[in-house]
A and B are shown apart, each in its own frame.
Chain A
Amino acid sequence: MINFNKFYKLFNIISLILVIISILLLFFKGLNFGVDFKGGTLIELRANDKQVNITTLRDSFNNMNLGDVNIKKFGNDDDYLIKIEKKDTTNNLIETIKKDLSLSIGDTFNFRRVENVGPKVSSELLKSGIIAIALSLAAMLFYIWIRFEWQFSLGAILALFHDVIITLGLFSLFNLEINLSIVAAVLTIVGYSMNDTVVIYDRVRENLIKFSDIKINELTNISINETLSRTIITSVTTLLALVSIYLFGGEILKGFSLAMIMGVVFGTYSSIYIANPILVKLKVSQKTILKEDNE
């Protein structure tokens, strides 16, 4: 048996520091919103000519007066991702770019993907993304409250906040792009982290009924240990699937799978080191769950 409860305090302090750093990062550095949420134009370009490189592309685009243009390599050697901040909703921006570009570097490229999001749509997408995440947190809070007691609900939701905030903090730190699929990842993280927490909580509840004389601190430790091998196996299989997406699933899914990988790691950690210490802090005992049955 591993004495997880010995480190409750230590890891709580570490988590608290990480959360604070993440919040500071989110406030002062902010997130790198992609075209979905900021508006603008994204072009995935494939060059069919070795002559074309990032410098020639950058020169060509700079001559087009498009404002802030960001060009980077995208996976494959001949693929480039071009982001144009200009929120141009004129209907023929892309055609103009295509024409100008073939004038400067010749017909040696094709556009594999084009995304053009107007400012109105991007702010709507951002709003609905935030609502979706808030709604999912609220739904989880409510569900656990119904299935367990409010103490459990609070513990689970704090664990969720912890996972979501630190994942976003890391995205801010490494300047990774936030787009629609990252929102999907965050929601799935919410589901996964909850799933993990619920399995341990389920055992805590069971043990609370079984043992009236064991203190909650020790009892959570027993429950964590009893479910530990499941926690590890499930995390490992999920991570195996995610790493496979990250490595082989193509460039477009990289951000999504990376967010999920972070989320699964933090979700597993928080189910043990956030969700359980909260129960200890809130002095959950056999009475907490039996009270409901008497009502």
Chain B
Amino acid sequence: MLYFSKLRITLVSLVTLFLIFIAASNLQNPEDSLISKRINLGLDLQGGSYLLLEIDNGPVEVQKLQNTTTIIRNFLNDKNINFNDLRIQNKKIIFTVPEENIELVKTFFLDKENEINPYYNQYKSHQFDVTIQSDEFILMLSKYGLIEIKTSSQDQAIEIVRRRVDEVGTNEPNIIKRGNNRILVELPGLDDPMRIKSLLGKTANLTFRFVNQNNNDSFGTEMLQYEDGTNEAMVSKRIILNGENLLDAQPKMDNQTNETVVSFSLDRVGAKRFGKATSTGIGKQLAIVLDGKIVSAPVIQSVIAGGNGQISGNFTFQSATDLALLLRSGALPAPLNIIEERSVGPDLGQDSINAGIIALIIGFLLVIIFMFFKYKIFGLIANITLLINLFFLVGILTLFEATLTLPGIAGIILTVGMAVDANVLIFERIKEECKKEKNNIIAFDTGYVKSKTAIIDANITTLIAASILFFMGSGPVKGFSVTLAVGIFTTLFSVYFIARMLTAFYVIKNKDRENLI
């Protein structure tokens, strides 16, 4: 057991050198080094913001119910079926049909090929669950119908979030889905996410609608407030244009009024509608409504035919830039709420790195001094192993480009403290064996063999704890579990390959010495 083949020695040395080289590449300038891999620093170390957004799907559901109600109305009218009392109540669509039509109407909703209530093959469910009580049809979004709504609004929202964040131009943002109604935004290097937060906090639903003085609009009217809160106006519910018709939007200085405005250009459909509306509505006020508030309501002076226009509304240059950005990137399908925010300034991150490194160095020194006094030459072997182990750990984290967090650094220091355990178990066992066995080589061999089960059991328990932490933990804590788990493997490797090789060399050289350990 104490014999090592040349091949094995070479392989172990090569692996060791390779990982030390990788670990060391972290210290080099990225451009100069051969290896482009780096340990990623977590947001808590490099500074940055972590935002967890939740999509408020309530309005989307309501919209869906309203749309479906319209579809049902048109559909039943088309088929010349009498229906009564079509309404939305408690998130349910309810209507009644005459007795003789029930079976027919049922097929409209429950056939797999029907046009109103889509059937999802993969879930074996319709979008709406339909219950029939005597002559009353009750439609309710099914479980999968709801999931479908959530995932599709999440898909749209993440796209818009990405566009908005990209427009602001932060470096390497990380935007991912969480569950089916959340979006995680990580912004490295950004410690004050105020601007991004305010950009993400707006749905940016833009509509152009006429202001209506008299209350005779066939589409209905609503009272809306001005954005500055000073005034309100009665606005038609008829939408002349919305944000989807926008091709581009830019902040601009108006030459005549010296005011900052947002200029926009419309697509073909939009330009046509805008032209028509402005030609029929000269003298009327056109309200520009953003997220239910009136930005401004200019009086139409002349026909605007080219599809270009501008929005004024007491903007500063910053607010005009932001509005243009929001309009360019499109409207969110639903409002977003920030339900968790964690921001760390870069100076705190650097302080944490420094403190972590100092704690690591001191912890490492304390451990190796203790081990050296306790075991002398074998302590030295354990210490060399420990140092190599540390390089291994950093090397592997680099190789996988793992994310190092502050608790992750704590995990490395803890690994330093616990890694000597395996060597201690072996050394103590060898000590015991040496008392019974005169032959040093045999004593060492048995020491290694007999300590094995304890070492493996002991490490597996730590590994179990680390993996549970990995799957249940979040953010920085996950980084801790990663270093802890990787630390277990590097420890076992360094103990069984490196420490054992070093002890073997030493024991074979001093095989006749008494009280070797």
Given contacts A120-B339, A132-B469, contact A241 B407 (CB under 8 A): no
B46 within 8 A of A: no
- B335-364 interface mask toward A, CB cutoff 8 Å, 1 = contact, 0 = none? 001111111110110011001101110110
Residues of A within 8 A of B337 (CB): 89, 91, 118
* Distance from B481 Cβ to chain A, minimum over Cβ atoms (Å): 7
The reply to whether A249 and B359 form a contact with Cβ atoms under 8 Å apart is: yes
A140-B339 in contact given A230-B425, A256-B407 (Cβ < 8 Å): no
Cross-chain contact A199 with B458 (CB below 8 angstroms):
yes
Q: Find out whether the CB atom of A116 lies under 8 angstroms from the CB atom of B340.
A: yes
B472 x A257 contact (CB < 8 A): no
CA distance A183 to B314 in the complex (A): 51
- Report B-chain residues with C-beta under 8 Å of the C-beta of A125: 474
Q: In the assembled complex, which residues on chain B have CB atoms less than 8 Å from the CB atom of A120?
A: 54, 339
**Contact A139 to B363, CB < 8 A, known contacts A91-B197, A237-B370, A238-B417:** no
B3-11, B204-212, B317-325, B460-468 - interface stretch: B460-468
Contacts of A202 in B (CB 8 A): 453-454, 457
Establish whether residues A132 and B414, one from each chain, have CB atoms under 8 Å apart when the complex forms. no
- Determine whether the beta carbon of A121 is less than 8 Å from that of B366: no
Produce 1/0 per residue, A182-194, CB < 8 A to B.
0110011011101
Across the interface, name the chain B residue whose C-beta is closest to A250: B355
Cβ of A294 < 8 Å from any Cβ of B?
no
Question: How far apart sit A231 and B359, CA to CA, in the bound complex (Å)?
Answer: 24
- CB interface residues, A 101-139, toward B, < 8 Å: 110-118, 120-121, 125, 128-129, 131-132, 135-136, 139
| Neighbouring B residues of A226 by C-beta, 8 Å | 432
Q: State how many angstroms separate the Cβ of A203 from the closest Cβ of chain B.
A: 7
- Of all chain B residues, the one with the shortest Cβ separation from A236 is B370
Residues of A within 8 A of B52 (CB): 121
Query: Residue among A94, A203, A226 with the most chain B CB within 10 A?
Result: A94
For B369, the closest partner residue in chain A by CB is: A240
Does B484 reach chain A (CB closer than 8 Å)? yes
How many positions in chain B have a CB within 8 Å of any CB in the partner chain? 73
Task: Say yes or no: A252-B367 contact (C-beta < 8 A), given A91-B201, A198-B454.
Answer: no
A180 is contacted by which of B201, B458, B477 (Cβ under 8 Å)? B477
- B410, B469, B476: the one within 8 Å of A187 (CB): B469
Q: Is A290 among interface residues, defined by CB-CB distance under 8 A?
A: no
B404-420 interface bits toward A, Cβ cutoff 8 Å, 1 = contact, 0 = none: 00110110011011101
Q: In the complex, how many angstroms separate the beta carbon of B53 from the nearest chain A beta carbon?
A: 10
Q: Does B246 contact A (CB under 8 A)?
A: no
Whether, in the assembled complex, A244 has its beta carbon less than 8 Å from a beta carbon of chain B, the answer is yes
Give the A interface residue count (CB, 8 A): 70
Cβ A131 vs Cβ B472 within 8 A:
yes
A253 close to B407 (CB less than 8 A):
yes
Q: How many whole Å from B384's CB to the nearest CB in chain A?
A: 16
Any A CB within 8 A of the CB of B194: yes
Known: A181-B407, A245-B363, A257-B410. A139 touches B197 (CB 8 A): no
Question: A143 at interface (Cβ–Cβ under 8 A)?
Answer: yes
A184 touches B355 (CB 8 A): no
Q: What are the residues of chain B within 8 A of A140 when measuring CB–CB?
A: 461, 464-465
Does chain B have a CB within 8 A of A65? no
In the bound complex, do residue B414 and residue A241 qualify as a contact, i.e. CB atoms below 8 Å apart?
Answer: yes
Complex contact B473–A132 (CB within 8 A): yes
Roughly how many angstroms separate A256 CA and B197 CA in the complex, as a whole number? 31
Q: Which of B453, B462, B469 contacts A195 (CB 8 A)?
A: B462
**Identity of the chain B residue whose Cβ is nearest the Cβ of A142 in the assembled complex:** B464
Taken together as a complex, chains A and B put the C-alpha atoms of A194 and B418 apart, in Å, by 13
Closest CB in chain A relative to B122 CB, distance in Å: 28
Q: How far is the CB of A222 from chain B (nearest CB, A)?
A: 12
B450 → chain A, closest Cβ, in Å?
8
Contact B338 A91 (CB under 8 A): yes
**A115-B341, A121-B340, A184-B407 known; A191 vs B348 contact (CB < 8 Å):** no
Q: Which of A163-192 contact B (CB under 8 A)?
A: 180-181, 183-184, 187-188, 190-192
Find A250's partner among B343, B406, B416 (CB 8 Å cutoff).
Answer: B406
A199→B414 contact, CB < 8 A? no
A240 adjacent to B366 (CB under 8 Å): yes
The one of A181, A237, A241 in contact with B476, judged by C-beta atoms closer than 8 angstroms, is A181
With both chains docked as a complex, state the minimum distance between the C-beta of B422 and any C-beta of chain A, in angstroms: 9
In angstroms, Cα B474 to Cα A180, docked, is 8
Check A32 for interface membership: any CB of B closer than 8 A: no
Chain A residues in 8 Å Cβ range of B343: 111, 113-115
- Given A140-B464, A230-B424: A249 touches B341 (CB 8 Å cut-off): no
Of all chain B residues, the one with the shortest Cβ separation from A244 is: B363
* CB-based contact B454/A256 at 8 Å: no
B480 interface residue (CB < 8 Å to A): yes
Contact B367 A240 (CB under 8 A): yes
Give Cα distance in the complex from A199 to B426, angstroms: 12
Closest to A43 in B: B343
A89 is contacted by which of B338, B347, B410, B458 (Cβ under 8 Å)?
A: B338
Q: Are A187 and B468 neighbours in the complex by a CB distance under 8 Å?
A: yes
Within the complex, the shortest CB–CB distance from B353 to chain A, in Å, comes to 9
Q: Is A292 on the interface with B (CB-CB < 8 A)?
A: no
| Interface membership of B421, Cβ < 8 A | yes
B236 interface residue per 8 A CB criterion: no
Specify which of B191, B424, B425, B477 is in contact with A181 (CB 8 Å cutoff).
Answer: B477
Min C-beta distance of A24 to chain B, whole Å: 28
On whether the beta carbons of B344 and A253 are closer than 8 Å, the reply is no
Q: Residues of B contacting A95 with CB < 8 Å? A: 194
The CA-CA distance from A94 to B342 in the complex, in Å, is 11
State whether A245 touches B461 (Cβ < 8 A). Answer: no
Q: Which residues of A approach B to under 8 Å, CB–CB?
A: 44, 89, 91-92, 94-95, 110-118, 120-121, 125, 128-129, 131-132, 135-136, 139-140, 143, 147, 180-181, 183-184, 187-188, 190-192, 194-196, 198-199, 202-203, 206, 226-227, 229-230, 233-234, 236-245, 247-250, 252-253, 256-257, 260
13 contacts between A and B (CB under 8 A): A92-B201, A111-B343, A128-B472, A132-B469, A139-B468, A188-B465, A188-B484, A192-B418, A195-B461, A227-B428, A233-B424, A237-B370, A247-B359
Can you list the 8 inter-chain pairs with the closest CB atoms, starting with the nearest? Answer: A241-B417, A191-B465, A244-B363, A250-B355, A132-B472, A118-B339, A249-B359, A194-B461
Interface residues of B (CB under 8 A from A): 44, 52, 54, 191-192, 194, 197-198, 201, 337-345, 347-348, 351-352, 355-356, 358-360, 362-363, 366-367, 370-371, 374, 406-407, 409-410, 413-414, 416-418, 420-421, 424-425, 428, 432, 450, 453-454, 457-466, 468-469, 472-477, 480-481, 484
